[in-house]
A and B are shown apart, each in its own frame.
Chain A
Amino acid sequence: MALKAYWGRRIASSLLVLAVVLVLNFFLFRILPGDPVSAIIDPRFSPQAKEELAALFGLDRPMGEQFLLYVKQMLTFNFGVSFLSQRPVWDEIRSRLPNTLILLSSAMAISALLGIYLGVIAAAKRGGFIERLVLWAGAISFSFPSFFIQLVMLLLFAFAMPIFPLRGSVSIPPPPPGWPAMIDYIWHMVLPVSSLVILGFGSWALYVRNLMVKVLGEDFVFLARAKGLPQRLILWRHAFRSILPPIVTIIFLSLPGVVSGAVITETVFSLHGVGRFLLESVTGQDYPAAGAAFFLLALLTVVCNLLADLAYGFVDPRIGLERKMER
């Protein structure tokens, strides 16, 4: 019962957060300076033509009416029509999601797995090559701007040694559908994904190393060693398991970022993705597109938070027990 009440409260508070986001989403964009019509600075576009454009966008209707329409659209997942493209917002997002999801989820999975593995090894073998690599990789990921690394990779592997393509996610003309198209797609994604891995695994490795260094000095690890357990078992079954909750938190909280995209990566590699869509929607004051994108992001963040909570119970049974006792 106590657990049910806990989840009931968590879901209710999540819905409240979503409701607040829904309202803020509408009003924040509208109280920002300017609007989609006044942003047009073309002397051939008269004030009368701008009025017609405002009517086309529905901006001539009373604010209350606009708000009700917006709420209805968000709650029914019919996000209206983008001001910039005059296409349904959902179509716009859907066409961009595959590239962004594949790019960022694969980059995140590889960087996380590689980083976690290297972080654990670096903590276990202090002063060794792996630790030095982790420290360097961490420094690179924090000190180099992503566009620099990505442009260098383009220059090296797409220009000087043209192993990979310079742009996009498909060759021109495109290969026939099926395996050739899939191989072509993977070929196009190698550089962007690997650039994100290079930029990302260091911070994972550094974080895990630091957590592990602390844990490896704890009593339960000394006890395990005293019992004569093998080093591998101590590292992965005892020490690593105890640092899983913060890692799980980071993984789940990173997921919304996977959808919001990587604007710079998408720009450098000319990928059709959600990151640029978000940026263009905000800078172009495309209310329906920006509103939908931020609402979806908020929804995903709330869901990921709930999932993280749920996952704690799996990775650390003590947490579920504590919650039960608290109730």
Chain B
Amino acid sequence: MLAKRFLRSVVFATCGIAIFVAAACGVDVDAIRGPKIEELYLVIIRDPDAQLLALEKGQIDLLSDITRPVDIERLASNEELSLSLAQGFHAFFLGFNVRKAPWDRVELRRAIWQAIPRNQLVRDIFSGYSAPLSTFLPPASPYCAEDLEAPPYDLESARRTLQEAGWRYSNGFLVPPGEDLPLKPMKILSPTAQVAPTTAELAQRIAASLRELGLPMDVEPVDFSTLIARLDEHAFDSYVLAWQLARDPDSLYAFFHSSMDVKGGYNICGIHDDELDAALEALRWAPDEEDARLAARRAQKLLSEKVPMVPIYSRYFVTALRKEWKGAVTTRIATADNVWSLLAMEPEGKMRPFYWCLPEEPRNLNPFTASSAYDWQVLGLIYDTLLTADPETLEDLPWLARDWKVETVSSGDGQVTRLSFILRDDVLWQDGKPFTAKDVAATISFLKEHRVPRFWDAVSDVEAVTVKGNHEITITMKNTSYWHLHQIGGLPILPAWQLASLESWQIWQPIRMIHPQKRNLTMLVGTGPFVFSEYRQGEYARLVRNDLFWLMSR
């Protein structure tokens, strides 16, 4: 009942404003020791209804990413479950092709921002389980400038804005300044209702809003591959698309810098603006966090003036957990399905395996080529990174590195970023070997030397790696950027001995190879909290507690 009441309060709170009511409980991550869970099964259940039945029947303990409001309401009324709800990094935008008329006119884009009733859309379509978005970064991002003023919904004001800029109406349709004929019919590209029903419905509602403003808009639903191809070829008027972003604001550079208006780039709108470019370059190459924050704010301010895309909504993430599991970590930006929960949780009474639902199979458990979120849901529990993020503030926290330093130093003609990490000295690999700086150096060098695509952006700017003793490493980059810290700090670290003998990383199947010394291990050896035990294809992955994990109480 409490859960239901809490959720209702969220619904009411989100109906009118973009402020989110958090499920925060105040987390002291320093106090967490674990993992306590001894046996973890990632159970593959594909059908959303079957997932709910399995959760209610107690066949799984945790179900993430519940999206349908009706399901959330149903689970909220189940007294055996607790629901956590958090802001995510999801962002849904309406984008324009600003390379061509009429989208090249900024007053039109601004008017459109005013003419879309974002609050009402969220209320009608998501029953409140989403937040209207007014920023170009999701509100969960620490760099989101939420205080920047976004125009509220006001159709009359939007019409006035256009008329003041010289637009006029002819038979209810807008006529651009200096032209005699009204705008020709235009389309919003959208995925089909079969693939993305909510997006398709939103596209229809947005098109209806734009028609009210006087734009002859209609929706063109297309297959997802066609949608992406059309965007890549710039063959569109406008489009709607949802993005899963990250805590860093580097998406702004990818989305809006003129150098990204290339094949395979993400400047889909095609905005080329010197002022914006300068702000985005300042953001991308910011030497430290303070400069990065200022640059992120400046870029968002310019974007809210130039409006190459219109932010529409950001959806919440909802996770259900069986109440018999205690100690889950939930914050305003993290539901219970996080690594902190897996470290801290234990059942009431006798220990038993923990069952976590995977909606798709992890098809690739090779850390070099794994790409899907489901692959990394498994691999992320086995491999560790140098740094992690606080689940409440998203600030950097020590992980394999207990301390670090970001410096800007002179090198040749200019300045470059130098990252220094001091590593923990109590970390062991799952095969019992000590973890050292050589492992970190070997991982970075391997990824760079072999140009591994998934990690290429993180390591391509590495100039030199220097190891001092067993637990100190310095990485000198080719240029200056604060974000190098997160890119290098977020790399999964592999054992140096393994990398030294690895030939075909592209088709490496570590889960099918037995560890040369430890017969109970595969070659999937990390320093993470769980050890890979078995993957039964299409059925489940079994992991067991890593008793050598450095956060275990010893």
Interface residues of A in 11-49 (CB under 8 A from B): 32-34, 37-49
Residue B402 at the A interface, CB < 8 A?
Answer: no
Contact assessment for B53 and A34 in the assembled complex, using a CB-CB cutoff below 8 Å: no
Say whether, besides A49-B453, A49-B456, A56 and B506 are in contact (CB < 8 Å): yes
Which of chain A's residues has its CB closest to B235's CB?
A33
Decide: A44 and B226 in contact? CB cutoff 8 A.
no
Query: What CA separation (Å) do A44 and B89 show in the bound complex?
Result: 13
CB distance from A290 to the nearest CB of B (A): 12
Which one of B427-435, B517-525, B531-539 contacts A? B531-539
CB contact between A86 and one of B45, B50, B243, B507 (< 8 Å): that residue: B507
Query: Provided the pairs A43-B245, A47-B264, A172-B41 are in contact, do residues A86 and B366 lie with their beta carbons within 8 angstroms?
Result: yes
Is B229 an interface residue, CB under 8 A from the partner?
A: yes
Label chain A's interface by main secondary structure. loop
Question: A276 — nearest CB in chain B belongs to which residue?
Answer: B46
Q: How far is the CA of A283 from the CA of B228 in the complex (A)?
A: 12
Within 8 A of A (CB), among B158-197: none
Tell me if B506 and A87 are in contact (CB < 8 A). no
- A114-146 Cβ-contact flags toward B at 8 Å (1 or 0): 000000000000000000000000000000000
CA–CA, A266 and B255, complex, Å: 38
Find the residue from B41, B49, B225, B509 having the highest chain A CB count within 10 A.
B225
Partner of A162, one of B57, B265, B355, B457: B57
B residues less than 8 Å from A302 (CB atoms): none
Say yes or no: is B47 at the interface (Cβ < 8 Å to chain A): yes
Number of interface residues of B (CB under 8 A): 61
**For residue A41, which residues in chain B have a CB less than 8 angstroms away from its CB?**
228, 241, 243, 266
Residues on A with beta carbons closer than 8 Å to the beta carbon of B127: none
Taking CB atoms, residues of chain B closer than 8 Å to A272 are: 44, 361, 537-539
Residues of B36-81 at the interface with A, using a CB-CB cut-off of 8 Å, are 41, 43-47, 49-50, 53-54, 56-57, 59
CB neighbors of A among B234-285 (8 A): 241, 243-246, 250-251, 254-255, 260, 262-266
Q: How far is the CB of B481 from chain A (nearest CB, A)?
A: 13
Alpha-carbon gap, A206 to B223, bound state (A): 36
Interface centre among A33, A96, A173 (most CB of B within 10 A): A33
For residue B260, which residues in chain A have a CB less than 8 angstroms away from its CB?
47
Q: Which residues of the partner chain A approach B47 to less than 8 Å between Cβ atoms?
A: 151, 267-270
Contact B361 A56 (CB under 8 A): no
List of A residues within 8 angstroms of B538 by Cβ: 95-96, 99, 168, 270-273
Which residue, of A41, A45, A55, A285, has the highest number of chain B Cβ atoms within 10 A? A41
In this assembly, does A84 line the interface, its C-beta being within 8 Å of a C-beta of chain B?
Answer: yes
CB distance from B74 to the nearest CB of A (A): 13
The verdict on B540 contacting chain A, using a C-beta distance below 8 Å, is yes
How would residues 261 to 286 of chain A score, 1 for a CB under 8 Å from any chain B CB and 0 otherwise? Answer: 00000111111110010000001010
Q: List 27 A-B contacts (CB under 8 A).
A: A34-B228, A38-B263, A39-B228, A41-B228, A43-B251, A43-B255, A43-B266, A44-B246, A47-B264, A48-B457, A48-B460, A49-B456, A53-B453, A56-B369, A151-B50, A166-B45, A166-B57, A167-B43, A167-B44, A167-B50, A167-B59, A168-B540, A173-B542, A270-B45, A270-B46, A272-B361, A272-B537
